[in-house]
Structure 1
């Protein structure tokens, strides 16, 4: 369809994709851009983009993402735009030397001129961590530190971008859960919300994150935009411990999937395992197959935060390998953070095959947030029909699975077993 700057654009979802898309459309002169979000409070407390921190890295085995990440990092450094959202702690990656994802990422970082420190032995690795921090890595460890990276205070970044969208004349309306796509004469004309509100639009951009497939079962997105719960653990440090660990780089091991942040201002450290995660397959009206549906703090209260005991045990085991002193401390809380995964880790950006008036901008696959300042540019290019043909194919909803090395550990997500979720007692050391 032909979209002009006077077209009515409705974006479903006020997360990373939705906000960034609205921002870039408004910057290009679009005048009628509205975002609706299911949550009555935004940023939504259970959205993947609402978090204490997200990794900002350019270390990608795919050169496209590596380049785009460096553009995003350059944008993050503009303190006038982003304040202290971005913290350039550096990102440390252990190397295997066997043509792994990390090795390919290292080659791309070097080619793009990143500030890289090669760490060829255990002594060199330990030198990039503060002297008062005990590191438990094996003597044969090697790796590299990318100084051009670190972490972002995720919720602050989302809040700042919301303000930018509003300042440019966009609308953001909370508490509007879309339950139906409205059609007339063979094409989509708008949406109906659970409270009966109808929004008409010339183009509807679906950026509902891990709720995309279950909210729109008729679009058959269950495997293309699979909702997976990722296991996160958080630990409260003392002020003294916080100061000691604060200057650590982000630890990111693509081989095991384990990653961990330095303490934030509240002396909380977050860790997780970048893996295939968990699904919760539930029946969905309009679909012949069950669809993975998020289980979060908003749908299940405190129960929605709990992760499987086995995942909690794995987090502690991996923590002991890196920071053995912290492994003896209790976890403060956990979170099942829901991602939207594509089969090949590439995003889903483009029109739905059934109707060009429906645009998909989703499937962050666990690596979208770092691109918050720029990812909407890609979506806006797609909307305006100027996206490079190679990227149209790369991000197409109905593409064949792209072939490249993925960053996740594990082949298939596991189904969430509710009787195996951790209890408060499991959090103790």
Structure 2
């Protein structure tokens, strides 16, 4: 790939869009790369799933591929000067109602990763962190997985930091709402058109627009007369319910150093098994 003639439009400046821009400009410093987002990167409030609340940084997966990828990401958070200031290694705790904890520990061993990851009894778990979790709901819990290497990252601060770094390296940032993709009759994409009617063109167009992606593709399908561009059933936006509580100084003194906590459970749905988790962590 030529580093001087390639150009990129990236729709969406959340973590996927910004990370893509950052790695592209690092590898191809002469390329033209433009991020397009409805909000300024340093706006007080943004519509971006990767910006809003702090995110768990963990590698506790029973799937070994996920585990390996997450360990690599965790290593970056712990060592890279760009990310390190925003990582808080508070530890991580799971209540396991099946063999999830054992599978995680086995994955660490298979990958040759040394960490003080262990599965403990409920009685032992109740004594951890000064008895902070003594009154937690342990109904149906077989054991508790404890991993001191996990924690959380300050999402908004991280996103602003990597965006600034990408812009320092030459990435351009355009604040605009995208109306449609610019498509030829054969479906070749040459860029985007904003709602203000401005055309931004590039040799490559990357959509990293999260939940807005199906809507953008639907608009583009209608505008271009190419129905197959629409996502249809292939891409469906989803969401999670989040609850928060504001702590006073006295409560923060108690809970401020608590680990990220997961409440794991199984639901038998016919022959399939699904897992859901409740996550709690604090901003310090």
TM-score range for the pair, normalised by the shorter chain length: 0.7 to 0.9
Q: In the alignment, is the contact (CA less than 8 A) between 1:86 and 1:150 conserved in 2?
A: yes
Per-residue CA deviations over 1:335-393 (Å, capped at 9, x if unaligned) read: xxxxxxxxxxxxxxxxxxxxxxxxxxxxxxxxxxxxxxxxxxxxxxxxxxxxxxxxxxx
Once the 2 structures are TM-superposed, how far is the Cα of residue 104 of structure 1 from its aligned partner? 3.3
Q: In the alignment, is the contact (CA less than 8 A) between 2:8 and 2:206 conserved in 1?
A: yes
* Distance across 1 between alignment mates of 2:214 and 2:42: 21
Partner of residue 129, structure 1: 129
Q: In the alignment, is the contact (CA less than 8 A) between 1:10 and 1:35 conserved in 2?
A: yes
Residues 1:210 and 2:211 are matched in the alignment: yes
Per-residue CA deviations over 1:101-142 (Å, capped at 9, x if unaligned) read: x55334213333252342331122123323355432337541
* Distance across 1 between alignment mates of 2:239 and 2:281: 23
Partner of residue 63, structure 2: 62
> Which structure 2 residue ranges, 5 or more long, are not aligned?
222-228, 266-274
Secondary structure of the residue aligned to 1:233 is coil
Partner of residue 116, structure 1: 116
Q: In the alignment, is the contact (CA less than 8 A) between 1:250 and 1:259 conserved in 2?
A: no
Partner of residue 160, structure 1: 161
Tell me: CA distance 1:4–1:221, structure 2 relative to 1, closer, same or farther (3 Å).
Answer: farther
Computing the radius of gyration from Cα coordinates, the structure with the larger value is 2
* Distance across 1 between alignment mates of 2:130 and 2:234: 43
Once the 2 structures are TM-superposed, how far is the Cα of residue 183 of structure 1 from its aligned partner? 2.3
- Choose which of 221, 230, 236 in structure 1 pairs with 2:240: 230
Q: In the alignment, is the contact (CA less than 8 A) between 1:191 and 1:200 conserved in 2?
A: yes
Per-residue CA deviations over 1:315-348 (Å, capped at 9, x if unaligned) read: xxxxxxxxxxxxxxxxxxxxxxxxxxxxxxxxxx
Q: In the alignment, is the contact (CA less than 8 A) between 1:122 and 1:137 conserved in 2?
A: no
Partner of residue 351, structure 1: none
Secondary structure of the residue aligned to 2:128 is coil
Once the 2 structures are TM-superposed, how far is the Cα of residue 261 of structure 1 from its aligned partner? 2.7
Residues 1:184 and 2:184 are matched in the alignment: yes
Partner of residue 231, structure 2: 221
Tell me: CA distance 1:215–1:64, structure 2 relative to 1, closer, same or farther (3 Å).
Answer: same
Output aligned runs, 1:38-77, within 5 Å.
Answer: 38-40=38-40, 42=42, 45-77=46-78
* Distance across 2 between alignment mates of 1:222 and 1:39: 27
Partner of residue 23, structure 2: 24
Per-residue CA deviations over 1:280-310 (Å, capped at 9, x if unaligned) read: xxxxxxxxxxxxxxxxxxxxxxxxxxxxxxx
* Distance across 2 between alignment mates of 1:84 and 1:261: 21
Superposition misfits of 4+ residues, deviation over 6 angstroms: none
* Distance across 1 between alignment mates of 2:240 and 2:158: 21
Q: What is the alpha-carbon root mean square deviation over aligned residues?
A: 2.2
Partner of residue 226, structure 2: none
Once the 2 structures are TM-superposed, how far is the Cα of residue 166 of structure 1 from its aligned partner? 0.6
Per-residue CA deviations over 1:64-118 (Å, capped at 9, x if unaligned) read: 22111111111111363225311011111122235x5x55334213333252342
Q: In the alignment, is the contact (CA less than 8 A) between 1:116 and 1:144 conserved in 2?
A: no
Q: In the alignment, is the contact (CA less than 8 A) between 2:191 and 2:202 conserved in 1?
A: yes
Q: Return the TM-score normalized by structure 2.
A: 0.83
Output aligned runs, 1:26-425, within 5 Å.
Answer: 26-30=25-29, 31-40=31-40, 42=42, 45-78=46-79, 80-98=81-99, 100=100, 103-112=102-111, 113-131=113-131, 134-138=134-138, 141-174=142-175, 176-184=176-184, 186=186, 187-217=188-218, 218=221, 219-255=229-265, 257-265=276-284
Once the 2 structures are TM-superposed, how far is the Cα of residue 196 of structure 1 from its aligned partner? 0.8
Q: In the alignment, is the contact (CA less than 8 A) between 1:179 and 1:216 conserved in 2?
A: no
Once the 2 structures are TM-superposed, how far is the Cα of residue 185 of structure 1 from its aligned partner? 5.7
Q: In the alignment, is the contact (CA less than 8 A) between 1:210 and 1:228 conserved in 2?
A: yes
Once the 2 structures are TM-superposed, how far is the Cα of residue 26 of structure 1 from its aligned partner? 0.8
Tell me: CA distance 1:77–1:40, structure 2 relative to 1, closer, same or farther (3 Å).
Answer: closer
* Distance across 2 between alignment mates of 1:87 and 1:261: 14
Once the 2 structures are TM-superposed, how far is the Cα of residue 204 of structure 1 from its aligned partner? 0.2
* Distance across 1 between alignment mates of 2:169 and 2:24: 10
* Distance across 2 between alignment mates of 1:58 and 1:136: 23
Q: In the alignment, is the contact (CA less than 8 A) between 2:98 and 2:142 conserved in 1?
A: no
Count of residues in correspondence between the two structures = 260
Partner of residue 369, structure 1: none
Tell me: CA distance 1:197–1:203, structure 2 relative to 1, closer, same or farther (3 Å).
Answer: same
Q: In the alignment, is the contact (CA less than 8 A) between 1:110 and 1:116 conserved in 2?
A: no
Once the 2 structures are TM-superposed, how far is the Cα of residue 42 of structure 1 from its aligned partner? 4.7
